[in-house]
A and B are shown apart, each in its own frame.
Chain A
Amino acid sequence: MAEFVQLLFAGLTTGAVYALVALGFTLIFQASEVVNFAQGEFVMLGGMVTVFAYNAGVPLPLAALLAVVVAAATGTLLHSLAIAPAKGATVVTLIIVTIGASILIRGLAQIIFDKQFHALPAFSGDEPLRVFGAAILPQSLWVLGGSGTIVLGLWLFMERTLLGKAVRATAANRLAAELVGIDTRLVLTLAFAVSAAIGAVGGILVTPITLTSYAVGTLLALKGFAAAMLGGIGNPVGAVVGGLVLGLLEAFAAGWISSTYKDGVAFLVILLVLFALPQGLLGRAAVGRV
């Protein structure tokens, strides 16, 4: 029992971060059909900006807020400087643009910050909580709670606000959305800014556990993308499910099968799922536009 709970929390904590990255992928994909491989860099910016602001004497909550703002601004710039000018380009071209952007952001971070790993103090101490004999870090609860809040907030925004409905309308049919007077450019910019902010919050929440450096974004983008595919790209619920499942697969594969092959086991399961369900666990079949 203790071992099961330990692995469960290990998997959920890692999975929550994958879920937030996958959510960022989904949001941008929904609004613009762009697969944004710079998504992991937003997580990195969240952690790194917080660390450097905090070390410079800014109180932690303020440093975190600053990091979210910096990431959102970077997301906005990414859209207006790189994605918008390439309007009408093929999906592959846009993917290459985002990969280029991620290399640029990583390179700048390496110069502006440094090449070292950094830690943040845990929000509520390092003393583990005992749950059924397992040792859970309080920070894990922060990660899980924070991720849950973001998912809920995003859902409310999409379902209950006019702006959120505009985002969904743009996703459903951009031309029709423009015809009814929605400023689709604003909506797309918003999608990038919100995705970036979500990634940044993820980065801030996990840094006390996982540490951060300028280079952490690459791996997270890859895992987040796999999670988004597993859940069904374009489906926010799928993104969350995909992220958590990937995290749990890794933890239980490492704990019960073989830590050497844990990534292999995780990706094998993803492959098998996608063979059986090519649209992912919760994806819908793509509908061609006429």
Chain B
Amino acid sequence: MNRRPLLLGVVSAALFATSGAVRAADAIKIGSFLSVTGPASFLGDPEKRTLELYVEKINAAGGVLGRELELVIYDDGGDANNARTFATRLVESDKVVAVVGGTTTATTLAAIPVLEDAQIPFISLAGGIEIIEPTKPFTFKTPHTDRMACEKIFEDVKKRGLAKVGLISSTAGFGASMRNQCLTVAPARGIEIVADERYAAGDTDTTPQLNKIRGSGAEAIVNADFGQGPAIVTRNVRQLGIDIPLYQSHGVASKSFIELAGAAAEGVRLPAAAMLVPDQLPDDDPQKTVVLDYRAAYESSQNQPVSTFGGHAYDGLMLLVQAIQKAGSTDGVKVRDALRETKGFVGTGGVVNLSATDHMGLDLSAFRMLEIRNGTWQLLY
């Protein structure tokens, strides 16, 4: 038996391993756990593509602090237990300096204790307000919260001179959370919730609930959910011939909602990020160039339409890179302090002003009010 090929293999493997180790030593390791597969894959997939795309771009432009970025991504499949395991792995075996990830509120919350213990700056890409409230020393987030969505919707309802709102929400995570936020902020905004109906995830008919809302004297309907539910609610509202304004959340901010709801979507309003309507932004809008650039970079390299979700990953990565540069170090506490000093950062989600007490840094101006007209988004204000 000839042993030479085997020996050769061992030697080259050893060489390869050594060279890998040398490279890894001077690269800045950024970790991520995302729901690339599973029910939240429509969020996680564009996030992963965005991180990979921009790490490559940053490295091509000379890296950060003269060092290359190295991205370590794990797919948690939308499972909070996996997220926690991967967060531990990022800390203990990959020894990353910071984490940009956490596609859903559930996976984010599962990972927070691990990353807080290790004092590793963590920028989450999930919506839930409980991620940053109460403020945790090392945890930040980029997307808008469901509370902001409620406030923006109620602001628009008041503008129309209406006050009575019928709420219909999914009992699943996002819907349940946004329902609670809407109920909480309604009184302060002068809104009376006259109906509070719910449906289970996967329900295919909401006419019984909408029938009740119709009988409640509601002057507008607010639907808190994402995925297929809002399309069904929108179709059912039109089926029943209910002609009061219908509001959806930023959770439906993708073309597929318009396709699924069809003609019923006409006239539906929703709060959403500037990413949906970059061309309609006025030229003096600070976000216009950022959003247009991101869209061009994403769509030319990924061959698929841009989404707001990938934008959250862009914002997270850029915030982190800026903070590392400002701190001049990859030390967790120093990077965290630099993050907290971020002022006037223009991202795809809005203008970010972070502080020791505000780890999201967005205000209501980050949300635009859109209306669906002729099968597309129309920017109202």
The interface of chain A, by Cβ under 8 A from chain B, is 3, 6-7, 10, 13-14, 115-119, 126, 128, 135, 137, 206, 209-211, 213, 215-216, 219, 251-252, 254-255, 259-260, 262-263
Closest to A252 in B: B208
Residues of chain B lying within 8 A (CB to CB) of residue A6: 207-208, 211, 240
Q: Which residue of A lies closest to B200 (CB)?
A: A263
Task: Flag if B205 contacts A3 (CB, 8 Å).
Answer: no
Contact A126 B263 (CB under 8 A): yes
B208-A255 in contact (CB<8A): yes
In the complex with contacts A119-B259, A211-B228, A260-B171, A137-B239 CB distance below 8 A: yes
B211 near A255: Cβ-Cβ < 8 Å:
yes
Chain B min CB distance to A157 (Å): 29
Q: Please give, as numbers and ranges, the residues of chain B lying within 8 Å of A216 by CB-CB distance.
A: 202
- B205 & A13 in contact (Cβ 8 Å cutoff): yes
Residue from the set A135, A211, A254, A255 with the largest chain B CB neighbour count within 10 Å: A254
How many interface residues does B have (CB within 8 Å)? Answer: 32
Residues in chain A near residue B238, CB distance under 8 A? 126
Residue from the set B197, B199, B204 with the largest chain A CB neighbour count within 10 Å: B204
**Within the complex, which residue of A116, A117, A210 is in contact with B205, where a contact is CB–CB below 8 Å?**
A210
Does B262 make an interface contact (CB < 8 A)?
Answer: yes
Tell me if B260 is interfacial: C-beta within 8 Å of chain A.
yes
A residues near B211, Cβ cutoff 8 Å = 3, 6-7, 255
The A-B contact count (CB < 8 A) is 80
Complex-state Cα separation, A209 to B321, whole angstroms: 47
Q: A119-B259, A255-B209 are in contact. List 5 more A-B contacts (CB 8 A).
A: A116-B42, A209-B205, A254-B209, A259-B208, A260-B171
B residues in contact with A118, CB < 8 Å: 260
A115-B41, A126-B263, A211-B260 known; A259 vs B205 contact (CB < 8 Å): no
> Which of A126, A135, A252, A260 meets B240, CB within 8 Å?
A135
Q: Which residues of B contact A255 (CB under 8 A)?
A: 208-209, 211-212
A259 touches B42 (CB 8 A): no
Is B256's CB within 8 Å of the partner chain A? Answer: yes
Specify which chain B residues have a CB less than 8 angstroms from the CB of A206 in the assembled complex. 204
Q: Among the interface residues A14, A128, A211, A216, which one has the most CB atoms of the partner chain B within 10 A?
A: A211
| Chain A residues with CB below 8 A from B239, complex form | 126, 128, 135, 137
**Nearest neighbor of B262 in chain A, beta-carbon distance:** A119
Give residues of chain B (185-244) contacting chain A, Cβ–Cβ below 8 Å: 197-200, 202, 204-205, 207-209, 211-212, 215, 227-228, 231-232, 235, 238-241
Taking CB atoms, residues of chain B closer than 8 Å to A254 are: 197, 199, 208-209
Q: Please state if A251 and B208 are interface contacts (CB–CB under 8 Å).
A: yes
Given contacts A6-B211, A211-B228, A259-B212, contact A14 B204 (CB under 8 A): yes
Contacts of A251 in B (CB 8 A): 205, 207-208
Nearest neighbor of B241 in chain A, beta-carbon distance: A135
**How far is B215's CA from A119's CA once the two chains are assembled, in angstroms?**
29
Q: Which residues of B contact A215 (CB under 8 A)?
A: 39
* B198 interface neighbour in A10, A117, A210, A259, Cβ under 8 Å: A259
**Which chain B residue lies CB-closest to A223?**
B202
Contacts of B208 in A (CB 8 A): 6-7, 10, 251-252, 254-255, 259, 262
Distance, CA A260 to CA B206, complexed state (A): 12
With CB as the reference atom, state the residue of chain B lying closest to A207.
B204
Bound-state CA distance A211–B227 (Å) is 11
- Nearest residue, chain B, Cβ from A255: B208
* Cα of A6 to Cα of B206 in the assembled complex, Å: 11
Given A6-B211, A211-B231, A255-B208: A219 in contact with B263 (beta carbons within 8 A):
no
- Which residues of chain B are within 8 angstroms of A119 by Cβ–Cβ distance? 231, 259-260, 262
Nearest opposing residue in chain A for B256, CB measure: A116
Establish whether residues A209 and B227, one from each chain, have CB atoms under 8 Å apart when the complex forms.
no
Give Cα distance in the complex from A94 to B332, angstroms. 53
Q: Of all chain A residues, which has the CB nearest B207?
A: A10
Rounded to whole angstroms, the CA-CA distance of A262 and B203 in the bound complex is 11
Query: Whole-angstrom distance between the alpha carbons of A107 and B235 in the complex?
Result: 29
Given contacts A135-B241, A210-B204, A254-B209, contact A117 B227 (CB under 8 A): yes
Chain B residues whose CB sits within 8 angstroms of the CB of A7 once the complex forms: 207-208, 211
Q: Mark B342-364, 1 if CB is under 8 A from A, else 0.
A: 00000000000000000000000
